[in-house]
Amino acid sequence: MIIMIYACDENNAIGKDGDLPWRQSTDLQHFKSITSGGTIVMGRKTWESLPGKLPNRSHIVLTRGSRSDVETATFDDILEMAKSQDLFVIGGGEIYELFLPHAEIIHRTIIHCIVEQPDTFAPKIDDLIFTLDEEKFVEKSPRDQYDMTFQKLSK
Ligand SMILES: NC(=O)c1ccc[n+]([C@@H]2O[C@H](COP(=O)([O-])OP(=O)(O)OC[C@H]3O[C@@H](n4cnc5c(N)ncnc54)[C@H](OP(=O)(O)O)[C@@H]3O)[C@@H](O)[C@H]2O)c1
């Protein structure tokens, strides 16, 4: 199954200058708790934005090039693998757009801010296709910049 996970601002922005546009420790913990022990799938640009492999997760990167530092796969490979295992699609914008028609579950965090001049967005989620199953507002901790709302949507 394809499971997408992302954080966006109130205008659906997810990135700026090749990085996340906020520092949200609580959301990173949420990301860790959902993806730990699993396989994460990402675009080459998101891979390059990470400090390296994240602990306790298998990594697969989509690229039209080749790489020696991480396992790579094609879009069709990922769809085939997802028939027999859960795969967490973790971004970025191009990759969310590509996989949205195949996603069964979306974990979305709304970061309660409006990013100035973002350059990357999440795709629009059609509320006729996805239903909001769970929603939880969380006030910012001292290690977060903003309040946030955790949502779980399913097809
Ligand atoms: N807020 C969040 O939750 C979140 C999560 C993740 C990322 N982000 C942010 O999103 C931004 C990066 O997103 P992005 O859209 O620029 O890039 P991206 O989706 O991370 O990666 C794009 C790359 O993926 C590869 N790719 C795309 N389609 C492909 C296909 N059909 N087959 C094979 N490879 C394919 C290409 O790599 P090659 O060029 O190597 O061929 C392409 O350049 C950053 O700012 C990052 O911080 C935000």
pLDDT one-digit tens code per residue, 93-138: 999 999 999 999 999 999 999 999 999 999 999 999 999 999 999 9
Inside any domain, residue 109: yes
Q: What is the CATH number of the domain that holds 19?
A: 3.40.430.10
Our count of domains for the chain comes to 1
Q: What integer pLDDT is reported at residue 79 of this predicted model? A: 98
Say how many Å lie between the CA of residue 119 and the centre of ligand 1. 12
Inside any domain, residue 139: yes
Pocket of ligand 1 (CB under 6 A): 6-7, 14-15, 18-20, 42-46, 49, 62-65, 74-75, 90-95, 98, 120
Q: Which of 92, 115, 135 is nearest to 23 (CA)?
A: 115
Inside any domain, residue 92: yes
Instruction: Fill in the amino acid letter for 101.
Output: P
Residue nearest to atom 1 of ligand 1 (CA): 14
The DSSP line for 89-137 is E---HHHHHHHGGGEEEEEEEEESS--SS--EEPPPPPTTT-EEEEEEE
DSSP three-state, residue 72: strand
Inside any domain, residue 71: no
Q: Which residues span the domain enclosing 12?
A: 2-36+77-154
Say how many Å lie between the CA of residue 46 and the centre of ligand 1. 5
What gap in Å lies between CA 109 and CA 98, rounded to an integer?
20
- Which atom number of ligand 1 is nearest to the Cα of residue 18? 45
Q: Which of 3, 1, 10, 26 is nearest to 107 (CA)?
A: 3
Q: What is the pTM of this model?
A: 0.98
Inside any domain, residue 68: no
Residues with pLDDT less than 70, the chain: none
Inside any domain, residue 7: yes
Contacts of 51 (CB under 8 A, 6+ apart): none
Say how many Å lie between the CA of residue 132 and the centre of ligand 1. 26
Say how many Å lie between the CA of residue 17 and the centre of ligand 1. 12
